[in-house]
Amino acid sequence: MFHLLSDLPAGRHQARRGGPSIGKAITLAKANTKSWGTGASSFWKIWSTYKDVAHLVTAATLICSESRSAFTRKPSGPSGLAQNQLIPFQMAMLMPDLVIAVALKFEDLGLSVLPHALAEPMLDPETLWRIPPDINVVPISPPVRKIRPQDLAVLNKRRAGNRGKAKVRKTTPVSG
């Protein structure tokens, strides 16, 4: 979700509709996943539970995904890791500086982008697992993925405000 969120401002998507927000990222994630437990309510629960470490987890997951892609193009050989051993935890242990460098960019994004009509950033500066600035790691921008036309259609269908018909109770007239 957080990587989707970083793709929105990079391509200036939805700028006229309030800019990037976690709600838009969740809408996209829900539209692009078909497994059990990937509804909007599950994504919101995950976000509220893990948003303080979202930049770190997203960086490790992104590096894992990129490593798997490279592995399919060129396997590491008989003494290297198997593809199923490439997991985010393993990436954090094998390449901690790279994970921290990418996470620094995600942290900056989460602290600098203000969702429309809110006075505070997406990540809470008080509870966020901050990366110390003096650790001698240069931030690396994550690859910007192009938002696909079908994803833009999903975002354009998403309406702000009331998402359904109001529940109107029928009243019986009082005769007098």
> Could you report the per-residue pLDDT of 41-52, keeping only the tens digit for each?
888 898 889 889
CA-to-CA distance for 137 and 131, rounded, in angstroms?
10
CA-to-CA distance for 147 and 150, rounded, in angstroms?
8
Mean pLDDT across the chain, nearest whole number?
Answer: 80
pLDDT at position 165 is: 57
pLDDT at position 11 is: 61
> Could you report the per-residue pLDDT of 92-137, keeping only the tens digit for each?
888 899 999 999 999 998 888 776 666 778 888 899 999 998 888 9
Average pLDDT of the segment spanning 58-64: 91
pTM of the model: 0.74
CB 86 within 8 Å of CB 71: yes
pLDDT at position 103 is: 93
> Could you report the per-residue pLDDT of 135-171, keeping only the tens digit for each?
889 999 888 888 788 888 888 787 655 455 556 666 7
CB 65 within 8 Å of CB 99: no
CA-to-CA distance for 52 and 121, rounded, in angstroms?
12
